[in-house]
């Protein structure tokens, strides 16, 4: 008998039910009771589907209204003072509203308040809400959600394995507000609450609890390693087994530590950490459970089951029934159900597996290792079928394009370098662009109104003719340009009305990409993305953005900024082929973008922004792998941008990144201007740029576009003054944190008008 289990299931629902319900609640179109009901329905369905896939346990606690790290903060009573007022009223709605207020600065009830910071979850495109600690932070069991959900699953007849974010990872992911102090000083009080949580789970009849410590795949400082050790020494509840879950990589130098903790079981990522799997098998005492994450939870390819079986066979010999099977990590990062895809052709579809299909694969493996006579025949059939599909994919001709490979082989180093250095370029650009000090601009997108989205859907579904669609988009562009002129912005954009998504839009115009109808993955809160699938060599089919940008430029004397998505982001936010190195795929995309950049320049666009919001997120979790990543990622950006003449100003944009570690690489991109997210973190990010004396221009975001609140002139002036302390004024730009597509026009107009006024104030000073 082998146990199969899952670390977490996508919570959004196959039709993004959660997104829709939460957004309706925010708009006060439904009340808390209706929202709760939607959550219950989703959990009920997801547990049932998982149980039907033969899992021995279903996870509980993986559901979340917004984010599981924020859930953990709520559970531990880590609610910053500015939200405390609404936290004191004891109704369910106010609890939920406190929660949403922390996430996004606003909820149906309570005061609008500055939201908590949000950042990337390890190297994924999922974002979590950063726990905010203050000096004398107290921790107490403040929220019953986990226990309620456990009881709910039990009442439905499921065997439940609750999932908790571990205490050390939780502290690691948090941030101290105010003076710097050691987060680890809270460990004792946090552990006391975890102890209480575990005892309570035990009383609910729980046998196994999964505690996630993804920090175990990082290069941990020694005091954090010690914290892991002391935590699990202390978190002992008789009769309750802890399965410690690690994922997103190998354990690296934490292997001995993890294997020797006093826990009942260890889960390891056998996809990304495959190289180390044998060492884990050698070091983990055989009385412990070894959960092997063999199904890739971060990608959508069908598993090579033969290969996995070959890996597992010797482990099964040694661990017997203590070998557990699971996906590598939570399935949060993949879409729900391939059966809901009707557009992808059958060949390509046969190469894929989404969350539900992955659980089916797991079920096959479980049967193989359980080897009950009646299922052997069926298993063999499935294995045979899988084998033929895996073979057909590797030999398929639609994957390989000779002209792309040839071009890659011809790249020479000069293609990575701009003609002049920044000094020279900035001089020529000043002449050409004639911008004031503290020039104002936006990050690219303007509100995606209902009309825009309706037109796009109609066009895509064939209900609207190309001619009518283009006409409507042009009207949108004209209106957006007019608004920007009226607001007095200095560098304009066309507003991106034609783009559903910054990655999908470009991939649709490139060979080698495929698309899903419904392959949604949660990015943050109610925001979902539909990553395209790169299955073959990438090639540009023709101009992608030129007609929109040049139309916009024709309407204004002000410089227009062309808008492209960079090669690293195109890679990072897609499901990437697993049959060649990522670097090679990225270079193909860079070549395609290089052609587009040159086409824009040719068409008279003087400023071109190449967005790289995912540049930091692509950084490997282990330092030893950084150098090689940064080398190919920087090269890809430069390959795409360096073909232009000195007068053409290249911008790049990145959101929510910790720049300290990679500031040198950012400088190596050699973009003339970088715009970054900073407003929520009080310009903290600028320290890295100042310490390093970043050589080129910077636009630190002063307008938090992830919140519906409109910043005042004074607030933005304060932020800008703070920025001007770190960066010479001649090199500062004034702009929002990110694109405005998710916002409405009234708030955008108000926000940008204040922003322009703030820039004027600084020019006067
Ligand atoms: N140009 C894009 C926009 O404005 C950038 C989005 C992003 O950085 N995520 O929407
Ligand atoms: Zn952004």
What is the 3-state secondary structure of 53-111? CCCCCEEECCCCCCCHHHHHHHHCCCCCHHHHHHHHCCCHHHHHHHHHHHHHCCCCCCC
Paired sense of beta strands 607-611 and 561-565, if any: parallel
Contact 200/146 with Cβ under 8 angstroms?
no
Q: Does ligand 1 have an atom closer than 6 angstroms to the CB of 534?
A: no
Measured in Å, residue 743 CA sits from the centre of ligand 2 at 13
Q: Whose CA is nearest to atom 10 of ligand 1?
A: 739
| pLDDT for position 656 | 67
| pLDDT for position 153 | 98
d(Cα 216, Cα 225) in Å, to the nearest integer?
8
| pLDDT for position 706 | 86
Measured in Å, residue 445 CA sits from the centre of ligand 1 at 6
Degrees to nearest 5, angle at CA 338 with 404 and 119: 75
Residue 90 in this model has a pLDDT that exceeds 60: no
Q: Which residues contact 311 (CB under 8 A, 6 or more apart)?
A: 270, 274, 277, 294
| Active-site residue, from 68, 127, 333, 706 | 706
Measured in Å, residue 352 CA sits from the centre of ligand 1 at 29
Q: Whose CA is nearest to atom 5 of ligand 1?
A: 739
- Could you say which ligand is closest to the alpha carbon of residue 442? 1
Q: Does ligand 1 have an atom closer than 6 angstroms to the CB of 655?
A: yes
Residue 91 in this model has a pLDDT that exceeds 60: no
| pLDDT for position 93 | 59
| pLDDT for position 686 | 82
- Closest to 617 in 3D by CA, of 704, 523, 715: 523
- Could you say which ligand is closest to the alpha carbon of residue 565? 1
- For a ligand 1 pocket test, name from 442, 570, 572, 611 the mutation site with the most ligand atoms within 8 angstroms of its C-beta: 611
Residue in the structure block whose two tokens are 């540009």: 540
Which pair of structure tokens corresponds to residue 154? 């039990």
Q: Whose CA is nearest to atom 8 of ligand 1?
A: 613
| pLDDT for position 691 | 87
The phi and psi torsions of 493 (rounded to 5 degrees) equal -130, 165
What pLDDT digit, counting tens, does each position of 430-465 carry? 999 999 999 999 999 999 999 999 999 999 999 999
Tell which wins on pLDDT, 377 or 575: 575
Report yes or no on whether pTM surpasses 0.75.
yes
653 included as an active-site residue: no
What pLDDT digit, counting tens, does each position of 657-705 carry? 678 889 999 999 999 999 998 877 777 778 888 888 899 999 999 999 9
Compute CA distances 247 → 124, 176, 203, whole Å: 12, 25, 29
Residue 666 has a CB neighbour count (10 Å cut-off) of 27
- For a ligand 1 pocket test, name from 493, 495, 502 the mutation site with the most ligand atoms within 8 angstroms of its C-beta: 502
- The residue-averaged pLDDT of 326-350 equals 97
Degrees to nearest 5, angle at CA 244 with 239 and 250: 160
Q: Which of 31-35, 80-84, 262-266, 589-593 has the lowest mean pLDDT?
A: 80-84
Residue ranges and CATH numbers for the domains of the chain are: 3-80+116-339 (3.20.20.210), 402-412+439-764 (3.20.20.210)
Compute CA distances 555 → 379, 449, 608, whole Å: 64, 21, 17
| pLDDT for position 263 | 98
- The residue-averaged pLDDT of 214-240 equals 97
Measured in Å, residue 493 CA sits from the centre of ligand 2 at 15
Atom of ligand 1 nearest to the CA of 654: 8
Confidence tier at 373 by pLDDT (50, 70, 90): low
SS3 296: coil
Confidence tier at 92 by pLDDT (50, 70, 90): low
- The residue-averaged pLDDT of 565-594 equals 97
- Closest to 127 in 3D by CA, of 703, 521, 507, 704: 521
DSSP string, 637-683: HHHHHTTS-TTSEEEEEE-S---GGGHHHHHHH--SEEEE--GGGTT
Half-sphere exposure of 518 (CA within 13 A, CB side): 16
Q: Whose CA is nearest to atom 3 of ligand 1?
A: 739
| pLDDT for position 658 | 75
Residue 87 in this model has a pLDDT that exceeds 90: no
Residue 37 has a CB neighbour count (10 Å cut-off) of 12
Contact 158/55 with Cβ under 8 angstroms?
no
d(Cα 325, Cα 127) in Å, to the nearest integer?
27
Residue 292 in this model has a pLDDT that exceeds 70: yes
d(Cα 730, Cα 421) in Å, to the nearest integer?
17
Which pair of structure tokens corresponds to residue 393? 């994919």
Measured in Å, residue 217 CA sits from the centre of ligand 2 at 27
| pLDDT for position 410 | 97
- Helix or strand run (H / E) with residue 28: none
- Could you say which ligand is closest to the alpha carbon of residue 701? 2
| pLDDT for position 594 | 98
Q: Which of 24-28, 122-126, 310-314, 734-738 has the lowest mean pLDDT?
A: 122-126
């Amino acid at each position: 008998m082998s146990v199969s289990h899952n670390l977490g299931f996508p919570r959004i629902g196959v039709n993004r039910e959660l997104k829709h319900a939460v957004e309706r609640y925010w708009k006060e179109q439904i009340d808390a009771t209706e929202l709760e009901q939607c959550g219950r329905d989703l959990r009920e369905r997801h547990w049932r589907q998982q149980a039907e896939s033969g899992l021995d346990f279903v996870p509980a606690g993986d559901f979340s209204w917004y984010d599981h790290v924020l859930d953990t903060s709520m559970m531990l009573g880590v609610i910053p003072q500015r939200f405390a007022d609404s936290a004191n009223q004891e109704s369910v709605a106010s609890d939920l509203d406190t929660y949403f207020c922390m996430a996004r600065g606003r909820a149906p009830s309570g005061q609008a308040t500055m939201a908590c910071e949000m950042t990337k979850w390890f190297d994924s495109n999922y974002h979590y809400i950063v726990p905010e600690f203050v000096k004398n932070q107290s921790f107490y069991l403040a929220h019953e959600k986990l226990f309620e959900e456990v009881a709910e699953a039990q009442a439905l007849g499921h065997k439940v394995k609750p999932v908790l974010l571990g205490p050390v990872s939780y502290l690691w992911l948090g941030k101290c507000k105010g003076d710097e102090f050691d987060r680890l000083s809270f460990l004792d009080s946090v552990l006391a609450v975890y102890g209480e949580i575990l005892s309570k789970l035990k009383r609910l009849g729980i046998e196994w609890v999964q505690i996630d410590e993804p920090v175990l795949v990082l290069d941990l400082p020694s005091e954090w390693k010690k914290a892991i050790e002391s935590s699990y020494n202390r978190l002992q509840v008789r009769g309750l087994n802890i399965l410690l879950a690690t994922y997103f990589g190998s354990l690296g130098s934490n292997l001995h530590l993890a294997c020797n903790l006093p826990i009942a079981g260890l889960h390891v990522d056998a996809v990304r950490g495959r190289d180390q799997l044998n060492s884990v098998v050698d070091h983990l005492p055989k009385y412990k459970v070894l959960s092997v994450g063999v199904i890739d939870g971060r990608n959508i390819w069908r598993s090579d089951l033969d290969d996995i079986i070959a890996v597992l066979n010797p482990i099964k010999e040694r661990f017997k029934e203590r070998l557990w099977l699971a996906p590598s990590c939570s399935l949060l990062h993949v879409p729900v159900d391939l059966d809901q895809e009707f557009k992808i052709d059958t060949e390509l579809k046969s190469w894929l597996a989404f969350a539900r299909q992955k659980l089916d694969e797991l079920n096959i493996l479980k049967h193989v290792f359980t080897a009950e006579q009646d299922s052997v025949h069926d298993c063999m059939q499935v294995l045979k079928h899988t084998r033929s599909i895996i073979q057909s994919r590797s030999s398929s001709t639609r994957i390989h394009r000779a002209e792309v490979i040839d071009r890659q082989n011809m790249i020479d180093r000069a293609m990575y370098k701009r003609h002049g250095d920044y000094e020279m370029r900035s001089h020529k650009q000043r002449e050409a662009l004639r911008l004031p000090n503290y020039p104002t601009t936006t990050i690219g997108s303007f509100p995606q109104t209902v009309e825009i989205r309706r037109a796009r859907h109609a066009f895509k579904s064939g209900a609207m003719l190309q001619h009518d669609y283009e006409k409507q988009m042009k009207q949108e562009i004209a209106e957006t340009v007019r608004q920007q002129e009226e607001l007095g912005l200095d560098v304009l954009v066309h507003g991106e009305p034609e783009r559903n998504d910054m990655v999908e839009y470009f991939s649709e115009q490139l060979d080698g990409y495929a698309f899903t109808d419904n392959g949604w993955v949660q990015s943050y809160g109610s925001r979902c993305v539909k990553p395209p699938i790169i299955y073959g060599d990438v090639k540009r089919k023709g101009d992608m953005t030129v007609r929109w940008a040049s139309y916009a430029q024709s309407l204004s004397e002000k410089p227009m900024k062309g808008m492209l998505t960079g090669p690293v982001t195109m890679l990072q936010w897609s499901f990437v082929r697993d049959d060649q190195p990522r670097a090679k795929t990225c270079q193909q995309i860079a070549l395609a973008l290089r052609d587009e950049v040159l086409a824009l320049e040719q068409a008279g666009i003087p400023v071109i922004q190449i967005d790289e919001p995912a540049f930091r997120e692509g950084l490997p979790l282990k330092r030893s792998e950084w150098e090689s990543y940064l080398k190919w990622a920087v090269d890809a950006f430069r390959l795409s941008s360096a073909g232009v003449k000195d007068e053409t100003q290249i911008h790049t944009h990145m959101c929510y990144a910790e720049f300290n570690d990679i500031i040198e690489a950012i400088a190596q991109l050699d973009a003339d201007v970088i715009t970054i997210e900073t407003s929520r973190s009080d310009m903290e990010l600028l320290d890295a740029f100042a310490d390093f004396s970043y050589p080129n221009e910077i636009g630190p975001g002063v307008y938090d576009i992830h919140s519906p609140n409109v910043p005042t002139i004074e607030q933005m002036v304060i932020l800008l003054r703070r920025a001007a302390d770190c960066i010479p004024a001649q090199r500062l730009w004034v702009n929002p944190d990110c694109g405005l597509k998710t916002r409405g026009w009234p708030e955008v107009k108000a926000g940008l008008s204040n922003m322009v006024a703030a820039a004027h104030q600084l020019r006067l000073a």
